[in-house]
């Protein structure tokens, strides 16, 4: 693995990784795209590795980060076409479940598959297709090495807690509810590039406080946990003797 591409929705979720690896801002991903590119190299074990990080940039109309599946899909497609990475990593924050062992700042690695929640099309074939079920890279060895929990990650475009969606997620053993991973997994599948997601919990869906209140309160704490674990994960990627951990 010589070139790692990291896709991140929000600048706040990416900032600690950018600073740690001294990544240089190269500008937008394309002349008409809001996505922002940061890049650098890492020298380890007498080899030079390329690290490229792409954020989804800002919605210029409302001056907020671009979030959700549309930005994630476009960012993944454009970045893969331009940089041709060996591996794609999506990092970010998510909602979780206390009754499945999550607390604020718990960091999960993806496993099994990526799914969508809140997509209901009761037509033969489509009902399965819209739920995604895109295969995830086996992270068992990585999770053991980094002492991280694993679980299914589910993607949607709403912050609202919907009981039918919660039931669907629990039936699918989902540990993290977020807005990008399944969209990126679809693009990576089309491009035949291995994909891993890492998510840090900002809000608990089975907590009495609203998700948005918890998110605003806990974002920085969750991001610090995300950065620390992402840096350790990248160190594994850049260590040839550990490459069997993500084969």
DSSP string covering 167-226: HHHHHTTEEEEESSHHHHHHHHHHHT--EEEEEEEEEETTSSS-HHHHHHHHHHHHHHHH
Backbone dihedral angles phi then psi of residue 33, each to the nearest 5 degrees: -110, 145
Q: What is the pLDDT along the chain (247 residues), one digit of tens a residue?
A: 899 999 999 999 999 999 999 999 999 998 899 999 999 999 887 889 999 999 999 999 999 999 999 999 999 999 999 999 999 999 999 999 999 899 999 999 999 999 999 888 989 889 889 999 999 999 999 999 999 999 999 999 988 777 888 888 888 889 999 999 999 999 999 999 999 999 999 999 988 888 899 999 999 999 999 999 999 999 999 887 777 887 6
- Output DSSP code: residue 132: E
Is 40:22 a contact under the CB 8 Å cutoff?
yes
Structure tokens at 194: 């291995």
Q: What is residue 46's predicted lDDT score, i.e. its pLDDT?
A: 81
Q: What is residue 247's predicted lDDT score, i.e. its pLDDT?
A: 64
The CATH number of whichever domain residue 103 belongs to comes to: 3.40.50.1580
176-to-60, 62, 128, 242 alpha-carbon distances in Å: 29, 27, 20, 27
Q: What is residue 86's predicted lDDT score, i.e. its pLDDT?
A: 95
Measured in whole angstroms, the distance separating CA 126 from the mean position of its chain's CA atoms is: 25
Cα radius of gyration (the chain):
17
Question: What total of structural domains would you count in the chain?
Answer: 1
**What is the pTM assigned to this prediction?**
0.96
Domain limits at 203? 3-246
């Amino acid at each position: 693995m010589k070139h790692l591409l990291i896709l991140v929705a929000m600048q706040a979720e990416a900032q600690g990784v950018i600073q740690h690896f001294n990544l240089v801002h190269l500008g937008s991903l394309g002349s008409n795209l809001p996505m922002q590119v940061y890049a650098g190299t890492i020298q380890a074990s007498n080899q030079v590795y390329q690290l490229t990080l792409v954020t989804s940039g800002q919605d210029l109309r409302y001056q907020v980060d671009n979030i959700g599946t549309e930005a994630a899909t476009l960012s993944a497609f454009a970045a893969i076409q331009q940089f041709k990475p060996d591996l794609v990593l999506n990092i970010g924050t998510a909602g979780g479940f206390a009754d499945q062992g999550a607390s604020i700042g718990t960091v999960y690695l993806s496993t099994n598959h990526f799914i969508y929640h809140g997509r209901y099309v009761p037509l033969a074939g489509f009902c399965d297709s819209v739920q995604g079920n895109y295969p995830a890279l086996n992270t068992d060895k990585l999770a053991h090495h980094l002492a991280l929990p694993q679980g299914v990650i589910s993607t949607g475009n709403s912050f609202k807690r919907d009981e039918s969606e919660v039931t669907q997620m629990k039936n699918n053993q989902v540990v993290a509810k977020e807005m990008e991973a399944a969209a990126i997994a679809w693009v990576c599948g089309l491009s035949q590039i291995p994909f891993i997601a890492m998510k840090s919990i900002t809000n608990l869906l089975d907590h009495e406080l609203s998700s948005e209140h918890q998110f605003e309160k806990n974002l920085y704490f969750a991001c610090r946990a995300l950065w620390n674990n992402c840096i350790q994960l990248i160190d594994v990627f850049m260590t040839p003797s550990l490459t069997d951990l993500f084969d």
